[in-house]
Amino acid sequence: MVDSEKCTGCGICVDVCPEGAIEVNQQAVVNNEACTGCAICVSECPDEAIILAKRKPGK
């Protein structure tokens, strides 16, 4: 999940995501189907705008 109030659209998350699960138009958008929850984007985001959401079992 991306906090739209914090995201500046810098694109660092896109560059570091090994699954290609993030794209940026004006702000970052995470494709939850492609995201594996590795959290690299969370640690690399300079604006602390990305939050990992807990997945439901079986997803």
Q: What is the pLDDT of residue 55?
A: 65
**Residues with Cβ < 8 Å from 32, sequence gap 6 or more?**
21, 53
Q: What is the pLDDT along the chain (59 residues), one digit of tens a residue?
A: 999 999 999 999 999 999 999 999 999 999 999 999 999 999 999 999 999 987 666 55
**Domain boundaries, given as residue ranges, for the chain:** 1-54
**Fold classified for 1-54:** Alpha-Beta Plaits (3.30.70)
Q: What is the pLDDT of residue 15?
A: 98
Q: What is the pLDDT of residue 53?
A: 80
